[in-house]
């Protein structure tokens, strides 16, 4: 099965409908929920979170600490069986 693609949607006019689902979550809560979901899908029981001296959060799902977005990317690549560098 090939990877999904993101394509531009042809919109009639300049408006389109959206959802307000999950808009109550902060960006950090949203990213952490994604990390938890991806880790759970791989049988990872614990993801560590560390706060840097500058107030940024970094996460480790069994490897080195990295940003939330890089953690999500690594976990998703791992699910797909891609090489993670």
Residue 41 lies in a domain: yes
Is residue 28 predicted with pLDDT exceeding 90? yes
Q: Which of 27, 39, 30 is nearest to 75 (CA)?
A: 39
Residue 17 lies in a domain: no
Band of the pLDDT at 2, cuts 50, 70, 90? confident
Q: What is the pTM assigned to this prediction?
A: 0.82
Range of the domain at 53: 27-79
- Distance between CA atoms of residues 46 and 52, nearest Å: 19
Residue 58 lies in a domain: yes
Burial of 80 (0-12, 13-18, 19+ CB in 10 A): exposed
Residue 16 lies in a domain: no
Number of independent structural domains in the chain:
1
* 61 close to 74: Cβ distance less than 8 angstroms: yes
pLDDT for 11: 77
Residue 85 lies in a domain: no
Structure token pair of residue 70: 């890089």
pLDDT for 83: 65
């Amino acid at each position: 099965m090939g990877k999904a693609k993101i394509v531009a949607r042809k919109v009639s006019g300049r408006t389109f409908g959206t959802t307000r689902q999950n808009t109550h979550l902060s960006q950090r809560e949203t990213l952490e929920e994604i990390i938890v979901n991806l880790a759970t899908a791989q049988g990872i029981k614990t993801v560590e979170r560390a706060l840097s001296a500058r107030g940024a959060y970094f996460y480790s799902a069994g490897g080195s600490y990295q940003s939330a977005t890089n953690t999500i990317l690594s976990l998703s690549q791992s699910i797909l069986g891609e090489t993670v560098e």
